[in-house]
Amino acid sequence: MKKLNKRSNPAFFLLILLPALLVILFLTLYPVINTIVLAFYKYNYLSDEIKFIGLKNFFTIGSDTVFQTAFLNTLTFAAVATVVEVGLGIFLALMFYGDFRGKRPFMITVIFPMMVSTMVISAVWKVLYHYDIGLFNNILRSMNLEPVGWLIDQSKALFSIILVDIWQWTPFAFLIMQAGLNSIPNEIFESSSIDGAGYFRNLRSITLPILSSQILLVIMLRTIDTFRIFGKVYALTQGGPGNSTETVSYFIYREGFSFFNLGRASAAALYVLIAISIIALFYIKGIMKEDM
Amino acid sequence: MTGSVMSRKGLLFWVLMIIVLITVLFPLYWILITALKTPLENILPVPSLFPKKVTLENFFSVMRTGFFKNLFNSLFVAFTSTFFSLVLAFLASYALLRYKFPYKLNVLFLIWVLIVKILPPMVLAIPLYTLFTKVNLINNLWGLILVYQVYTLPYCIWMLFGFMKNLPLEFEQAAEIDGASKLKTLLSIVVPLSSSGIAATAIFSIIIAWDEFLFALLFIRSPSLQTLPLKIVSFITEYETLWGDLMAIGLLATLPVLFFSGYYYKRLTEGFSLGLK
């Protein structure tokens, strides 16, 4: 990293760093400390009742079946979405490897889903998923099949939301995998074909190992993203039917902003913080190696 | 491109391409035709694949519900929060690049920025909400601009830091020898040199703020202060059958963003770093 010489003026640099530093600390350090403190209190925002109760919030939240469901849903969401997006991403990157006619317009079209606002995407999928007049059920009916309760069937709603996520973010995985593949010299493919290696052996012994850092990146980014997921759930199902699409962010939202149990919401937020910091550890380590 | 890889582009390749394009474009097509159908056609039990009668009725209806006010709110919040983030991020990145602060502050600051990027915003929502209530920043677009720094500031710092890492030091040294003040060097040399990075960062930061939903939902009460994502959600949850209106807003909110797809693709393919997104 290039630095100016020692004559440079420390006060000047501190002064220009300070505004960003203060804004970030104000918006993050204060809330995090506040959350840690509040988690030890029984605090209802409406009745303004506040009482120190030690670790009790952590126990009640930890054993709350709704929170457990929310956590499990979040992990399921992250796992299913990541596996499918990575798999499809690699498949597409292999199929559309190299140059061909119309590649640029094709790729630009393919990334549309990640450009469109999540709320707009949720809206159109809600229309398509509609039980009575949605297109999907209509196709099923015209084929004499039973209509599906995409967003109203407890066993399917979560997967319907995951499907929207897959539609939205597979292009991202595709792009990353393609960038990874482009770093492989074509000769490697060629020499292994001359050796008589089959397509799948190529895939397993050459392509996948080379893509491993890209695969890891997508896994981390998608997992981090799933813990933040809120808008899609809010627009499509509001956590229902039952609690079948409740995710951790949605749980904190309801606990804090519908029931006004700020203590419980804070304890739940801390659980999420702990989970996310484990992922963050790997992520930051990877980035520090690459970018600094 | 030669040999084994090229030879795979047979019929299967083009069929797959068509399948991919249909999958990607179909929901977008559905937004378009739903927006263009009459309200009555939109609630037919058998949805039509092409509008029987094309109408702009939905667009007019949406405009009567205060669409332009919402559009203005979205633009105002997205541009203003990006402006502040860019200024703060530019100054901070420059300081981090050109000065070694004591106590490893440089690295610590960047790690903290990354942590903020990773943090689920919901975790911050409750304390920020109670705090903002006390200082009258709830139901206030300036409050939204301040809280959006949670997203845009770490993003801008990370992106600008990446861009500015590659700036040559020589110009600044020359300016220093000429006796230019630090601030003048910054404005007349470093800013122009980083302009392409600043432009790219600005575009993505605007898109992030444009799409934000969580804090907008929590912090904004009056319909007249709603941003577009809030407006869209109010159509989804409250007026569930006004699908033509919903899709008309969706279309209007989407078009300006799609416009940047080409640019986005270019940036993404230019260099993939872990920090992106």
CATH number of the domain within which A98 lies: 1.10.3720.10
pLDDT value at B275 more than 80 = no
Burial class (CB in 10 A: 0-12, 13-18, 19+), B53: exposed
Specify whether the CB–CB gap between A88 and A170 falls below 8 A. Answer: yes
Q: What is the pLDDT of residues B70-93, one digit of tens each?
A: 999 999 999 999 999 999 999 999
Q: How many distinct helices (H) and strands (E) make up chain A?
A: 16, 2
Task: Taking each helix axis as running N to C, give the angle between helix B228-237 and helix A118-129, from 0 to 180 degrees, rounded to the nearest 10.
Answer: 20
pLDDT in the model for residue B42: 84
A271 touching B, CB under 8 A? no
Residues of B in contact with A135 (CB under 8 A): 30, 47
Residue pairs spanning A and B at CB distance below 8 A: 309
User: What percent of chain B stands above pLDDT 70?
Assistant: 93
Contact A179 B272 (CB under 8 A): yes
- Both structure tokens of B40: 């009555």
Contact A23 B111 (CB under 8 A): no
Distance CA B24, CA B77 (A): 30
Mean pLDDT of B121-143: 92
Smallest Cβ distance to A193: which of B4, B9, B275?
Answer: B4
Contact B122 A99 (CB under 8 A): no
pLDDT in the model for residue B77: 97
Calculate Rg over the CA atoms of chain B.
Answer: 23
Q: pLDDT class for B31, splitting at 50, 70, 90?
A: very high
Q: pLDDT class for B143, splitting at 50, 70, 90?
A: very high
Q: pLDDT class for B6, splitting at 50, 70, 90?
A: very low
* A223-242 residues touching B, CB cutoff 8 A: 224, 227-228, 230-231, 234-235, 238
Q: pLDDT class for A194, splitting at 50, 70, 90?
A: low
* A51-90 residues touching B, CB cutoff 8 A: none
* B49-78 residues touching A, CB cutoff 8 A: none
Mean pLDDT of A175-204: 72
Query: How far apart are the CA of B65 and the nearest CA of chain A, in angstroms?
Result: 18
Q: Among all residues of chain A, which has the CA nearest to that of B44?
A: A133
Query: How far apart are the CA of A129 and the nearest CA of chain B, in angstroms?
Result: 11
pLDDT in the model for residue A281: 84
Q: Give backbone dihedrals phi and psi of A85, rounded to 5 degrees, phi first.
A: -65, -40
User: What percent of chain A stands above pLDDT 70?
Assistant: 91
| Angle, vertex CA B70, rays to CA B65 and CA B75, nearest 5 | 155
pLDDT in the model for residue A191: 64
Mean pLDDT of B97-126: 88
Query: How far apart are the CA of A79 and the nearest CA of chain B, in angstroms?
Result: 18
Q: What is the pLDDT of residues B203-243, one digit of tens each?
A: 889 989 999 999 999 999 999 999 999 999 988 877 667 88
Average pLDDT taken over every residue of chain A: 87
Specify whether the CB–CB gap between A89 and A176 falls below 8 A. Answer: yes
pLDDT in the model for residue B4: 43
Q: Give backbone dihedrals phi and psi of A43, rounded to 5 degrees, phi first.
A: -140, 110
pLDDT in the model for residue B5: 46
pLDDT value at B274 more than 70 = no
Q: pLDDT class for B103, splitting at 50, 70, 90?
A: confident
Please name the residues in contact with A149: beta carbons below 8 A apart, sequence gap of 6 or more: A131, A156, A157
Distance CA A271, CA A89 (A): 31
A110 touching B, CB under 8 A? yes
* DSSP letter assigned to residue A272: H
pLDDT in the model for residue B2: 41
Q: Among all residues of chain A, which has the CA nearest to that of B152?
A: A24
Q: A38 lies in a domain?
A: no
Mean pLDDT of A249-255: 94
pLDDT in the model for residue A292: 54
Distance CA B114, CA B209 (A): 18
pLDDT value at A57 more than 70 = yes
Contact A27 B128 (CB under 8 A): yes
* DSSP letter assigned to residue A40: T
Half-sphere exposure of A58 (CA within 13 A, CB side): 14
Burial class (CB in 10 A: 0-12, 13-18, 19+), B20: buried
Q: What is the pLDDT of residues B239-255, one digit of tens each?
A: 667 889 999 999 998 88
Q: Give backbone dihedrals phi and psi of A116, rounded to 5 degrees, phi first.
A: -70, 140
Q: A119 lies in a domain?
A: yes
pLDDT value at A137 more than 60 = yes
In one-letter notation, the amino acid at residue B143 is: G
Smallest Cβ distance to A186: which of B2, B23, B129?
Answer: B2
**What are the residues facing A44 on neighbouring strands?**
A49, A261
Smallest Cβ distance to A252: which of B94, B122, B250?
Answer: B122
Burial class (CB in 10 A: 0-12, 13-18, 19+), A288: middle
| Angle, vertex CA A198, rays to CA A193 and CA A204, nearest 5 | 105
Q: A53 lies in a domain?
A: no
Distance CA A178, CA A106 (A): 14
End-to-end CA distance of chain A: 9
pLDDT value at A285 more than 60 = yes
> Domain count of chain A?
1
pLDDT in the model for residue B192: 87
Q: pLDDT class for B7, splitting at 50, 70, 90?
A: very low
Domain ranges in chain B are: 3-55, 64-270
Q: B236 or A3, which is more confident?
A: B236
Specify whether the CB–CB gap between B120 and B114 falls below 8 A. Answer: no
pLDDT in the model for residue B227: 95
Q: What is the pLDDT of residues B148-205, one digit of tens each?
A: 999 999 999 988 998 888 888 888 888 888 877 888 888 888 888 888 889 889 988 9
In one-letter notation, the amino acid at residue B153 is: L
pTM of full prediction above 0.90 = no
Calculate Rg over the CA atoms of chain A.
Answer: 24
| Number of neighbouring beta carbons within 10 Å of residue B166 | 10
pLDDT value at A117 more than 80 = yes
Burial A152-172 (b: 16+ CB within 10 A, else e): beeebbbbbbbbbbbbbbbbb
Class of domain B64-270: mainly alpha
Please name the residues in contact with B180: beta carbons below 8 A apart, sequence gap of 6 or more: B188
End-to-end CA distance of chain B: 30
ipTM: 0.87
Distance CA A22, CA A16 (A): 11
Contact B118 A100 (CB under 8 A): no
The range of the structural domain enclosing residue A146 comes to 58-291
Mean pLDDT of A124-136: 91
Q: A64 lies in a domain?
A: yes
| Number of neighbouring beta carbons within 10 Å of residue B120 | 25
* A160-199 residues touching B, CB cutoff 8 A: 167, 171-172, 175-176, 178-180, 186, 189-190, 193
Mean pLDDT of B53-79: 91
Please name the residues in contact with B219: beta carbons below 8 A apart, sequence gap of 6 or more: B129, B132, B137, B138, B139, B140, B143, B144, B147
Q: A162 lies in a domain?
A: yes
Average pLDDT taken over every residue of chain B: 87
Distance CA B182, CA B125 (A): 38
